[in-house]
Amino acid sequence: AQKVTQAQTEISVVEKEDVTLDCVYETRDTTYYLFWYKQPPSGELVFLIRRNSFDEQNEISGRYSWNFQKSTSSFNFTITASQVVDSAVYFCALSESNTGKLIFGQGTTLQVKP
């Protein structure tokens, strides 16, 4: 069965600290995609990144970076020099290959304190 686990329910950091959000997945598909979404307090879901199973290169976008390790089935998300505006719930998701259905993790609530 396909599954996504975000073991960290809540994380609290002080502004400017670096923080890593963990994501571990299970799938039998050989080709699959992983996603991260952000849900700020206003409630909408914002797409952050997509990564396919054949591309294990790390990706950096500004203060955000993602580390995909197929060997450990992990797709971790790091925010460098966190800011209060980063406070949100972050979801990791795995896409089912035939239908595009997303299997979400439970989400990690990040609180960045000033």
Residues binding other proteins (CB under 8 A): 4, 6, 9, 31-33, 35, 37, 43-45, 47, 50, 52, 91, 95-102, 104-107
Select from 58, 22, 52, 61 the least CA-distant residue to 34.
52
Nearer to other proteins, 52 or 58 (CB): 52
Q: What b/e sequence results for 53-62 when a residue is b if at least 16 CB atoms lie within 10 Å of its CB, and e otherwise? A: beeeeeeeee
Distances in whole angstroms, Cα of residue 31 to Cα of each of 25, 87, 109 = 13, 32, 29
State the minimum distance, in angstroms, from the CB of residue 114 to other proteins. 26
State the minimum distance, in angstroms, from the CB of residue 35 to other proteins. 6
State the minimum distance, in angstroms, from the CB of residue 49 to other proteins. 9
Nearer to other proteins, 80 or 97 (CB): 97
What contacts 3, CB < 8 A, 6 or more positions away?
A: 25, 26, 94, 103
Nearer to other proteins, 98 or 114 (CB): 98
